[in-house]
Every structure is written in C-alpha cells, then in structure tokens.
Amino acid sequence: MLERLDETPPQIIMQVAAEFAADHRANKIDLGIGVYRAEDGTTPILQSVLEAERRLLKSETTKSYLGPAGDPDFNLAMSEIILGRHSAQGRISIVQTPGGSGALRLLFDLIKRANPDATIWLPGPTWANHVPTLTQAGLKHRTYRYFDSVTLGVDFAAMRASLEQVPETDVVLFHGCCHNPTGADLSAEQWDAITQIVQERKFTPLVDIAYQGFANGLEEDAYGVRSLLAHTPEMFIASSCSKNFAIYRERTGMAIAISANADIAALAMGQMRDLARVGHSMPPDHGAAIVRTILRDPELSDIWKQELEDMRLRISEIREALATAFRVRTNSDRFDFLATHRGMFSLLGITPQQVGRLRDGHAVYMVSDSRMNVAGLRHEQIGQFVEAVLSVID
Ligand SMILES: Cc1ncc(COP(=O)(O)O)c(C=O)c1O
C-alpha cells in the first residue's frame, strides 16, 4: 500500500542542515537550524541540567509509567515560570507534552474537538511548522498582518486592523516572545492593546512561547501571556523547555488551557488527558524530571537562571556587534534592526536568490526566506558575514 503515498515536500530547515553538513569549506557558517550556540560553536549541556541529572541518577527508583498528564510537579513548577502570580486558580488544565511541538498538536486537537469549524489565525509570517500541524489536526487557518518587510519591524496598525476582523469563534496564535522567523516582537504597550482587542472581539488567544528568557528576561518575556491571562476568560498556551533549558532532544513542553470556570476546566482536562493517551499515551519523563529538579531547588534554580541569562546576553551582544559592524561598513542604519530584534532569529530581508548566493559563494547558510539564527555566529565570524551579505546585495 505504501506505493500509493504522495511524495513529501522537503522540510526546508532540515534541508539547509543537510546541505551545510555536506559542505567541506573550512569557513562555512551555519545560521540555519534553530539551536543556541555558544561562542565556541557548540550547543552545550547546561551545568544546572548536568547536576540535576546526577541527582536523578542517584535518587530515581522507578521507570514505571508517568500517566498521560505527565509529572504533576513539573506541570506546577513550569506553569509558575510561565504564568507567574495570577488569579486563575482552578481554571487551569495542564498536560506535559513531548516538546512545544507536542503541546501545539495537542491544543490544535483540543480546539478541533471543541469547535471543529474554528479557524486558527497566524501571524504573517510564522514558524514553518504551525500550518502543517494545525492542518494535520483538521483545522483551517488564516493569516493576520504582522511583519513589515520595509521597516523589518511589527506593523502594529495592520496587525490591529486584521485582528479586528476575527470572529468570536476563532483562535488567534501569538508568539509569546522571540518571534520566529522574524525576530520582531511586540512591546508591553502593544501586548496591552492586544489584550484589549481580545476582550472586545472575544476570540480565544493561543500563545506559543518557545523562547521564554531569550528576549528580555524570564519575567519580562512572559508579559504577553500574563497580560492576556489577567483579562481573558479562556486561552491556550503552548510552552517549550527545549531552548531555555537547552534540552532540545529530551522533548519537554507543556500544553495549558485556561477555562472560564472550574467545571469547564475539568472538561478540558479530561479531553487533554484523552488526547495525550491517543497521541503518545504518556510523555517522556527525563526532560521534565530535570526541569522539576532544577526548579524545586533554589540553588540549582539560581544556577539555571544565570545560565539562561548568559545565553540571552550572548545573543544580544552578537546582535549589537553585528548591527555596529554593518553601520561602520555601510555608513548607514539599514541593518540596525538586527540590534532591536529579539531571540535567536532575524529575517535579514534579502531575496531567496541572494540567500542562494550567500550559500554558494560564501558558505553562509540560512533559510531561503532569509531567516538567520543569530546565535549561530561567533564574534570572529562577524566580519566575514558582513562582507558576504554586502557582496550579495550590491
Ligand atoms: C515558535 C516555535 N514554537 C514551537 C517550537 C517547538 O519547540 P520544540 O522543539 O520544543 O518542539 C519551536 C521550535 O523551534 C518554535 O520555534
């Protein structure tokens, strides 16, 4: 029967990774795949994670099943990081998921069960996996205006105008921080305005927060989630521990549904548990056990927060150094946006042909829409990168 299958379109980011691996030029630069890299080019295991693993090795007594909702201590500890202090007690349903991707899939499935006709509104552009995941869940999508390709920032007036058309029955997906792929984030004032639109239009927000701590700080990056939580009766949150704990391959994340009251929250929890059961049955334990061990130990928690802050500061230093190097070299502010963007990604704003020339002529790899992983650059490569970009856009 397998011969009846259609060919699968290539997964663009994986394709860039394969092309990079096959390139033997010594000076090649990988700005494709979305993983944090330290100044030495590695994606290291955090010290807090290693210490948590040591402790787990000594203390774990069983590998028995976890249950479809995952580890309740992890769920509580991590939800406190995301939600902070709030007044939604009793209205929260949480399921531990295999990564943020698993959280998104579970929430899309939940939405499909609650309202099969719901449309998911996505920012233009958005993370490449959003559309395939919601489509697989049987949902439709539409795009709201977000990125301004001229200023390379958020076109908030256009975004507001789009959101004012969304019907009450639909769901709008927002990136909590570090917008992927553009790097253009909302300010606190803009989040407040969005919260007001959500209150007026009464559609349901879904916040995808995969990079908490990478933009402006752990607390600061939760501003949007918390603003919505304080003012909307119903919302969804998909969270990932892949980046902020650097445990990408441990597949650790969480799906949160906020309901209007405790009775509805119990209904949502039952459905979420059921969706986990028919999807992956039970989530993998190790990553969540690491996160729980760190967050429940004040000393380990402080080490982790400092390590997260160090990653954030490195990204922000590279951004500043890049913008400065472009400014000095071009005598213009054309690339200043690199310093104002947040998180690992920026859309450089060059054409797919120019991205191809960067790859072929200069061994610089990024996604064809010109999404670059800023964290893939080492300080010593900035000069090479700036010259390569300027040579393909001239
Ligand atoms: C916007 C966004 N959401 C969700 C995810 C999923 O992360 P995970 O690796 O935890 O599945 C990513 C990962 O790149 C992402 O960029």
Q: Which atom of ligand 1 is nearest to the CA of 253?
A: 10
Contact 185, 178 (CB under 8 A): yes
pLDDT at residue 389 in the model: 97
Contact 208, 238 (CB under 8 A): yes
- What does the pLDDT look like over 12-21, one tens digit per residue? 888 999 999 9
Write the CB contacts of 119 (distance below 8 Å, at least 6 apart in sequence). 139, 140, 141, 142, 170, 171
Which CATH code fits 2-45+311-393? 3.90.1150.10
Q: Residues of CATH 3.90.1150.10 domain(s) within the chain?
A: 2-45+311-393
Q: What angle do CA 98, 103, 106 make, to 5 degrees?
A: 105
pLDDT band at 85 (very low <50, low <70, confident <90, very high): confident
- What does the pLDDT look like over 122-152, one tens digit per residue? 999 999 999 999 999 999 999 999 999 999 9
For strand 235-240 and strand 204-209, is the pairing parallel, antiparallel, or unpaired? Answer: parallel
Radius of gyration of the chain (CA): 21
pLDDT at residue 88 in the model: 83
Q: Which atom of ligand 1 is nearest to the CA of 242?
A: 10
pLDDT at residue 13 in the model: 87
Burial-class residue 90 by CB neighbours within 10 Å (0-12, 13-18, 19+).
Answer: exposed
- What does the pLDDT look like over 1-11, one tens digit per residue? 999 999 988 88
Q: Which atom of ligand 1 is nearest to the CA of 240?
A: 10
**Averaged pLDDT of the chain:** 96
Contact 48, 281 (CB under 8 A): no
Distance 109 CA to ligand 1 centre (A): 17
Mean pLDDT (whole number) for 334-351: 96
CA-based nearest residue to 106, from 334, 269, 305, 335: 269
The distance in angstroms from the start CA to the end CA of the chain is: 52
Q: Which atom of ligand 1 is nearest to the CA of 251?
A: 10
Distance 246 CA to ligand 1 centre (A): 12
Q: Residues of CATH 3.40.640.10 domain(s) within the chain?
A: 65-295
Mean pLDDT (whole number) for 191-200: 97
Percent of the chain with pLDDT over 70: 100
Name the residues annotated as catalytic.
127, 208, 210, 243
Mean pLDDT (whole number) for 229-249: 97
Q: Please tell me the least confidently modeled range out of 148-152, 270-274, 294-298.
A: 148-152
| Residue that wins the pLDDT comparison between 10 and 362 | 362
Write the CB contacts of 341 (distance below 8 Å, at least 6 apart in sequence). 152, 182, 183, 184, 185, 319, 374
Distance 240 CA to ligand 1 centre (A): 7
Write the CB contacts of 390 (distance below 8 Å, at least 6 apart in sequence). 329, 330
List residues near ligand 1 (CB under 6 A): 34, 99-101, 127, 175, 180, 208, 210, 240, 242, 253
- The residue assigned the tokens 């982790």 is 304
- The residue assigned the tokens 């947040």 is 342
Contact 69, 272 (CB under 8 A): yes
Question: Which residue of 16, 97, 129, 373 sits with most ligand 1 atoms within 8 Å of its CB, as the best mutation to test the pocket?
Answer: 129
Q: Which atom of ligand 1 is nearest to the CA of 208?
A: 3
Which CATH code fits 65-295? 3.40.640.10
Percent of the chain with pLDDT over 90: 96
Distance 210 CA to ligand 1 centre (A): 5
Write the CB contacts of 252 (distance below 8 Å, at least 6 apart in sequence). 96, 98, 99, 240, 241, 242, 245, 283, 284, 287, 288, 290, 291
Q: Which atom of ligand 1 is nearest to the CA of 34?
A: 14
Q: Please tell me the least confidently modeled range out of 11-15, 208-212, 213-217, 378-382.
A: 11-15
Contact 281, 123 (CB under 8 A): no
Q: What angle do CA 376, 382, 384 make, to 5 degrees?
A: 110
Distance 199 CA to ligand 1 centre (A): 27
The pLDDT of residue 193 is above 80: yes
CA-based nearest residue to 348, from 370, 325, 369: 370
Mean pLDDT (whole number) for 345-360: 95
Specify the residue with its C-alpha closest to ligand 1, atom 12. 210
Q: In what order do the strands lie in the sheet with 119-124?
A: 92-97, 253-258, 235-240, 204-209, 171-175, 119-124, 140-145
Mean pLDDT (whole number) for 179-199: 97
Identity at 255, one-letter amino acid code: A
Mean pLDDT (whole number) for 258-278: 98
Mean pLDDT (whole number) for 305-312: 98
Distance 393 CA to ligand 1 centre (A): 31
Contact 217, 312 (CB under 8 A): yes
Distance 100 CA to ligand 1 centre (A): 5
- Classify residue 375 by its DSSP letter: G
Distance 263 CA to ligand 1 centre (A): 31
pLDDT band at 68 (very low <50, low <70, confident <90, very high): very high
Q: How far is CA 122 from CA 19, 125, 160, 196, 207, in A?
A: 29, 8, 13, 18, 11
Specify the residue with its C-alpha closest to ligand 1, atom 2. 210
Specify the residue with its C-alpha closest to ligand 1, atom 7. 100
